Structure 1
Amino acid sequence: MSGAPRDAVEGAGRRRRRRGRGEQAVVPDAEFASYYGRPILKRPRWRPLDIAGYLALGGLAGASSLLAAGADATARPALARTAKLGAAGAISLSLAALVHDLGRPSRFLNMLRVVKPTSPMNLGSWLLAGYAPLTMAAAAADVAGRYRAVGAAATASAAALGPAVATYTAVLVSDTAVPAWHGGRRDLPFVFAGSGATAAAGLALVAAPAEETGPARRMAVLGAVLELGAFQLMKRRLGLAAEPYEEGRPRAMLRAAEALTAGGAALAVCAGRRGRARAVLAGTALLAGSTAMRLAVFHAGVASAEDPKYTVVPQRERLEARSRDGDGRP
């Protein structure tokens, strides 16, 4: 093996600031290199199954609460019960996955000792702590058939928090330095919102009577359009950092997500009121597609953190852009 360091990227970014014509550079040339090609960022240590499950189940729960409130408002009791139970079950499993990844329940509780508006993890912990009991109260009141006023209030409150629950994990991951996540901070919440909607619609199509699933079918179509459209926009904006989404495991998961989500939405429309078998097939495809999308995002982020070029090259490009702006000033 050669003793010379292997840079992550050939070449170096250079910056020269000039205050006037003929003036020498006052800032030395800057070079970005990765020592022996090793990662610059620390690889995310989250357990893939726990955190990918946490991301997927949170989206399912938040969107299910919205669907439950809509079903209550339009007198669809079976659909409402399915969505309420789905929200309560999904958020319970999501919390279990988060606590398992943290290692001890006390670590989650410790995050509730303070309120820190600048920390997505802290605010997310408070959000879950408030939202989870509401979903359980709504589901319990519905199943018991008692305390209807309490159940209605819990359902409405959970629905009000639902969009935040479905999307806050996108804010959480994009608040890191991981290139494939941070670069998509403007679009990833919309991807997660659409993904949560397709998952909630999928669960309803599988478990609720076909004659009550009209809102779920409409949610499936709107969610699929939002999820896939926002993801394509995010990839265009990511530039080089979009590469991990088109390589290896993330690419396979993304292609599966696109096919399952688009196909599930199309089947949901065709199923109508009479196609029970089609509705179950559509719902299964939508649930699988939503999960595959979250897994693709997770694994692409890990891959982008492991390859130093996704950190070095954008830094160099930003430096060169600032250098050109500085040289162009009068």
Structure 2
Amino acid sequence: MARREDAMVPEAEFRSYYGQPVIKAPVWHVPHMPLYLYLGGLSGGASLMSAAARLAGHDRLGLTARVTAAAGATLGAGFLVAELGRPERFLNMLRIFKPTSPMSVGSWILAAHSGLSALATASAVMSAAPASAVAARLPRRVAAALPAAGDAAAVATALTGPLMATYTAVLVADTAVPAWHEAHRELPFLFAGSALASAGAMGMLATPRAQAGPARVAAAAGAAVELAAGAVIERRLGLVGEPYREGRSGRLMRAARALTAGGGLLATVAGRSRALTALSGLALTAGALCTRFGVLEAGRASAADPKYTVVPQRQRLESGDRASTAAPARSWP
């Protein structure tokens, strides 16, 4: 019987060419891009909550959510333009519509959602008692059509809102950055949960406590989804998930988990306590911000260290999964 011979040459350890990264690092800037990710999610979550509140008869919460959606979309677009450097660069992205490009689709989602949320908010504010004098100065036909147009826009934002809250997850995952690309299944759920928690937090902070019950429910539900998605990312990604656990990005993600878990728990027990409501809303808002900054930092860390690109590719080759070895051509959108 033939005896198996021991390997004379030990298995080589991973090394890169002069220790240099093999992909380009993301060029997004701080705080512009993380704040855009947060504000876009906030606007999308608030739009969905506004429609639900209106259907349930919670008019005060619905008004708060409409204003939050419009403010988030407007401020978010401002940070995106600041990230791009010149306003015309955003307008140039609207010259064509390319369904296969998350950047192109996202630009149109942002433009449509921003316009609809602005119309819905303007209608609600002008129809409110303190602003009725403004509506009275408008032409009669315009004043008569404004409430219906605003309600139609609010219904439309219930459709664009979820897209607004999650398209940025698709945007970052459609890259060669390992920590983002490998988490393409979970990032939309992470961003959606964070968006809903953010909207609920703002509703709790800006709505009378007696009328903010649905906002507390939304905040707690969003926090649960965000925590579950984050846990799956760290467990499923293995080696590529290290940036979510280690270094500066790991500290940000741990802070996000602690703040989100604490804020979500407080939302379930706050009731009509002003202090607990405020503490819950602030904790959830801080947690959502830490999540966006942490995800961006994790992507940078994984792009800077070549092992997160090369080692998983070698493992897929050894297992025979050649079809999934090739990474996307872009290292950033």
Measured against the shorter chain, the TM-score band is 0.7 to 0.9
Give the total of aligned pairs.
295
Say what the alpha-carbon RMSD is for the aligned residues.
1.5
Letter in 1 for 2:191: F
Instruction: Tell me, yes or no, if structure 1 residue 105 matches structure 2 residue 106.
Output: no
How big is the shift at 1:169?
0.2
Partner of 2:32: 50
Identity of aligned residues (%): 52
Question: Residue 234 of structure 2 contacts residue 245 of structure 2 at CA under 8 Å; is this kept in 1?
Answer: no
Instruction: Tell me, yes or no, if structure 1 residue 181 matches structure 2 residue 180.
Output: yes
Question: Residue 224 of structure 2 contacts residue 264 of structure 2 at CA under 8 Å; is this kept in 1?
Answer: no
**CA 1:243–1:82: 2 relative to 1, 3 Å:** same
Whole-angstrom distance in 1 between the partners of 2:250 and 2:193: 19
Letter in 1 for 2:43: A
Whole-angstrom distance in 1 between the partners of 2:27 and 2:156: 34
How big is the shift at 1:33?
5.0
Whole-angstrom distance in 2 between the partners of 1:298 and 1:108: 21
Whole-angstrom distance in 1 between the partners of 2:314 and 2:147: 60
Whole-angstrom distance in 1 between the partners of 2:15 and 2:319: 19
* Superposition misfits of 4+ residues, deviation over 3 angstroms: none
Give runs of aligned pairs for residues 91-170 of structure 1, distance below 5 A.
91-145=73-127, 147-170=146-169
Deviates more, 1:144-153 or 1:91-100: 144-153
How big is the shift at 1:166?
0.2
Whole-angstrom distance in 1 between the partners of 2:261 and 2:301: 26
Whole-angstrom distance in 1 between the partners of 2:93 and 2:215: 35
Partner of 1:26: none
Partner of 2:64: 82
Question: Residue 97 of structure 2 contacts residue 104 of structure 2 at CA under 8 Å; is this kept in 1?
Answer: yes
Give runs of aligned pairs for residues 56-75 of structure 1, distance below 5 A.
56-75=38-57
Partner of 2:289: 291
Q: Normalising to structure 1: TM-score of the pair?
A: 0.87
Whole-angstrom distance in 2 between the partners of 1:77 and 1:277: 24
Give runs of aligned pairs for residues 123-272 of structure 1, distance below 5 A.
123-145=105-127, 147-272=146-271
Partner of 1:7: none
Partner of 1:22: none
Determine helix, strand or coil for the equivalent of 1:219: helix
**CA 1:317–1:202: 2 relative to 1, 3 Å:** same
Question: Residue 260 of structure 2 contacts residue 287 of structure 2 at CA under 8 Å; is this kept in 1?
Answer: yes
Question: Residue 33 of structure 1 contacts residue 312 of structure 1 at CA under 8 Å; is this kept in 2?
Answer: no
Deviation string 1:31-75 (CA, Å, 9 cap, x unpaired) is x85220011110111102111111111110000001111111122
How big is the shift at 1:161?
0.8
Partner of 1:305: 303
Whole-angstrom distance in 2 between the partners of 1:174 and 1:217: 30
Deviates more, 1:235-244 or 1:116-125: 235-244
Whole-angstrom distance in 1 between the partners of 2:235 and 2:248: 20
Determine helix, strand or coil for the equivalent of 1:99: helix
Determine helix, strand or coil for the equivalent of 2:57: coil
Partner of 1:11: 12
Give runs of aligned pairs for residues 310-321 of structure 1, distance below 5 A.
310-321=308-319
Whole-angstrom distance in 2 between the partners of 1:82 and 1:323: 50
Determine helix, strand or coil for the equivalent of 2:25: coil
Partner of 2:23: 41
Deviation string 1:261-319 (CA, Å, 9 cap, x unpaired) is 111111111111x2122111111111111111111111001100000000010011011
Q: Normalising to structure 2: TM-score of the pair?
A: 0.86
Letter in 1 for 2:290: A
